[in-house]
């Protein structure tokens, strides 16, 4: 049934994309669309620390004293694969570059600041590792080839199979340069779903041939909020869309169905986080409900230079609402697969702000490259995995400066993360998850000192570097990698579930054929599908998804690359 109004639960990228397509393709007025969300940016955040609400900080935290910047996560783009995202950004104006669309802004910036990572892997005592040598043996090559060549219709054979289980007879895979680079570029862990690894290998197979330099990576001019989300918010507000923030939907009202499987939302229980009041919002027959059913930044918390981020044990608010729907209907997935066990999904990230460029210049000297060119990873030289194998300690991204529109010329901002936050630091002897911002900075300096241990060592400058830090914000994200958790194909609901009359799912926890999750691409496409479905627009009008895994030239290049 064609709808004439929409209620958006969650204000992340997927739902904002749906709103843009409803306005531009279905010719809706903005007044026909209402957003409910705890915030108005989803996981694509970034800004001065004072802009983040009390719920993110430790209790009784002196929020008024916060300085510096924070982005809980970072985003890398890829024009060749993120075709729906670029289509979306080409429909809205940039908010920083007059006369450009948001897509033109990104293309313009990227054309002048190409990614070419000369120090993709760094190892203590060895310095820059030659990532061009992937280090694969024949068993690695055979198993990777089987994964890439598996037909789409056989993908369910990988239900509930982890990457570790798939390579159980080939532990060598996890000691290759290829794995270290793939792991840290896309944030896979060996406990992650091999189904997701297969999809990445299909969609990003051409990246296989250039992963040591990341030349396929594109970046926005500023952080993801200023360059992606703020243009969307500004455009939608200008169109008259209603944004109701500090609101969370806590429960559903569904119509009774004689068949017990028809999904029709008739009401939403909405809590106002400012007033603690609740209301029941009626959903009539003309209204679509478009729901982002999980967020990787739900339950995230922040610390500061002297305070670690606390662990928030709450089940994610969006996933909790998803779970209530699954208790009523059988075909809406299994949220507990993603949100009930943090062991394989939690991260700790940090955003470090300095009042001069001393640390930035030291990283430039050690890595031999200018800011904005790279994602650097540090390899441990001591056995820290259960198998006694070396593995990644931390990853950092040194953005082109300024990374924030309000950043001063003398300030630098560096972002990093610990993919395994329960491991213990080598220079600060406590788990990463328990470190303060200062201790994370000390661990970073220590790791860099191992990479370049000669004269003029960065460790000698540690007091001066620490004095230059305005703030370093640790962020605990219990669900950062939840979308990669081991699962079956049916554990995520389809964007339009069977028997749904007015409910759609968007974002990284909605199932779409061939799409990679953890990308702005899949989020945007889910919103596009929902918008077209509820307005009667043919799915033939969806942006064409490239299939590089079907291109013989790309496959041949990848095959040759395996033997490097």
pLDDT, tens digit (0-9, with 9 covering 90-100), for 16-31: 999 999 999 999 999 9
Q: What would the pLDDT profile of 343-372 be if each residue is shown by its tens digit?
A: 889 999 999 999 999 999 999 999 888 887
Question: Is-contact 338 482, C-beta < 8 A?
Answer: yes
The count of other CB atoms within 10 Å of the CB of residue 413 is: 25
365 CB contacts (<8 Å, ≥6 apart)? 452
How many Cα atoms are found within 13 Å in the side-chain-facing hemisphere of 391? 23
Q: Kindly report the average pLDDT of the chain as a whole number.
A: 90
Q: Contact 428/442 with Cβ under 8 angstroms?
A: yes
Q: What was the pLDDT predicted at 389? A: 63
Task: Return d(Cα 118, Cα 56) in angstroms, integer.
Answer: 36
pLDDT for the residue numbered 552:
82
> Could you give the C-alpha distances from 16 to 29, 103, 156, 164, 300, in angstroms and in order?
14, 16, 31, 36, 22
Specify the 3-state DSSP secondary structure of 26. Answer: coil
Look up residue 368 and give its DSSP letter: T
Run of H or E residues at 380: none
pLDDT band at 57 (very low <50, low <70, confident <90, very high): low
C-alpha separations of 176 from 18, 129, 135, 200 in Å? 41, 12, 5, 18
What predicted TM-score, i.e. pTM, was given to this entire model? 0.94
Phi-psi domain of 55 (left: phi exceeds 0; alpha: psi -120 through 50; beta: other): alpha
Which of the residues 180, 200, 305, 532 is marked catalytic? 200
pLDDT of residue 62: 52
Provide the pLDDT confidence category of residue 410 given band limits of 50, 70 and 90: very high
* Terminal CA-CA length for the chain: 55
pLDDT band at residue 163 using 50, 70 and 90 as cut-offs: very high
Q: Which residue has the tokens 């009930």?
A: 340
Q: Is the pLDDT of residue 534 over 60?
A: yes
pLDDT > 90: percent of the chain: 68
> CB of 452 within 8 A of CB of 460?
no
Of 228, 198, 190, 280, nearest to 74 (Cα)? 228
Return the closest-CA partner of residue 471 out of 355, 349, 301: 355
200 annotated active-site: yes
Side-chain half-sphere of 533: how many Cα atoms within 13 Å?
24
């Amino acid at each position: 049934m064609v709808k004439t109004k929409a209620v958006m639960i969650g204000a992340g990228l997927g739902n904002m994309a749906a709103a843009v397509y409803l306005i531009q393709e279905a010719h809706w007025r903005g007044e026909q669309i209402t957003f409910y969300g705890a915030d108005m940016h989803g996981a694509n955040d970034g800004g001065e620390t004072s802009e983040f609400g009390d719920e993110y900080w430790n209790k009784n935290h002196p929020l008024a004293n916060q300085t510096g910047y924070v982005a809980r996560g970072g985003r890398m783009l890829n024009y060749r694969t993120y075709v729906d995202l670029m289509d979306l950004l080409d429909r809205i104006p940039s908010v920083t570059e007059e006369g450009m669309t948001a897509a033109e802004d990104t293309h313009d910036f990227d054309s002048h600041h190409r990614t070419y990572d000369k120090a993709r892997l760094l190892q203590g005592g060895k310095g820059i590792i030659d990532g061009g040598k992937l280090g694969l043996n024949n068993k690695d090559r055979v198993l990777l080839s089987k994964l890439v060549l598996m037909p789409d219709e056989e993908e369910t054979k990988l239900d509930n199979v982890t990457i570790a289980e798939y390579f159980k007879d080939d532990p060598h895979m996890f000691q290759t340069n290829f794995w270290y680079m793939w792991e840290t570029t896309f944030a896979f862990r060996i406990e992650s779903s091999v189904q997701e690894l297969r999809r990445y290998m299909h969609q990003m197979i051409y990246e296989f041939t250039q992963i040591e330099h990341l030349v396929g990576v594109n970046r926005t001019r500023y952080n993801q909020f200023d360059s992606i989300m703020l243009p969307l918010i500004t455009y939608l507000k200008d169109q008259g869309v209603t944004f109701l923030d500090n609101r969370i939907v806590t429960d559903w009202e569904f119509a009774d169905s004689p068949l017990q499987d028809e999904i029709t939302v008739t009401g939403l229980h909405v809590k106002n986080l400012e007033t603690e009041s609740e209301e029941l919002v009626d959903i009539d027959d003309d209204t679509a409900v478009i729901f982002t059913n999980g967020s990787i930044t739900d339950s995230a918390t922040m610390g500061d230079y002297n305070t670690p981020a606390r662990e928030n044990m709450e089940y994610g608010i969006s996933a909790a609402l998803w779970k209530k729907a699954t208790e009523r209907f059988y075909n809406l997935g299994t949220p507990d697969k993603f949100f009930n066990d943090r062991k394989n999904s939690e991260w700790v990230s940090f955003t470090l702000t300095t009042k001069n460029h001393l640390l930035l210049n030291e990283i430039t000297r050690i890595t031999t490259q200018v800011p904005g060119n790279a994602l650097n990873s540090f390899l441990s030289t001591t056995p820290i995995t259960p198998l006694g194998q070396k593995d990644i300690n931390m990853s950092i991204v040194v953005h082109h400066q300024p990374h924030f529109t309000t950043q001063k010329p003398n300030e630098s901002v560096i972002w990093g993360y610990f993919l395994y936050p329960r491991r213990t630091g080598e220079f600060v002897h406590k788990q990463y998850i328990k470190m303060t911002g200062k201790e994370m900075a000390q661990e970073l300096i220590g790791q860099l000192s191992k990479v370049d241990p000669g004269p003029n060592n960065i460790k000698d400058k540690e007091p001066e570097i620490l004095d230059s830090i305005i703030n370093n914000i640790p962020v605990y994200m219990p669900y950062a990698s939840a979308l990669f958790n081991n699962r079956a194909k049916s554990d995520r609901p389809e964007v339009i579930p069977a028997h749904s009359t007015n409910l759609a799912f968007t974002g990284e926890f909605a199932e779409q054929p061939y799409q990679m999750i953890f990308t702005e691409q899949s989020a945007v496409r889910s919103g596009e599908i929902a918008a077209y479905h509820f307005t009667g627009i043919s799915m033939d009008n969806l942006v064409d998804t490239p299939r590089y895994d079907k291109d013989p030239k790309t496959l041949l290049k990848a095959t040759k690359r395996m033997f490097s």
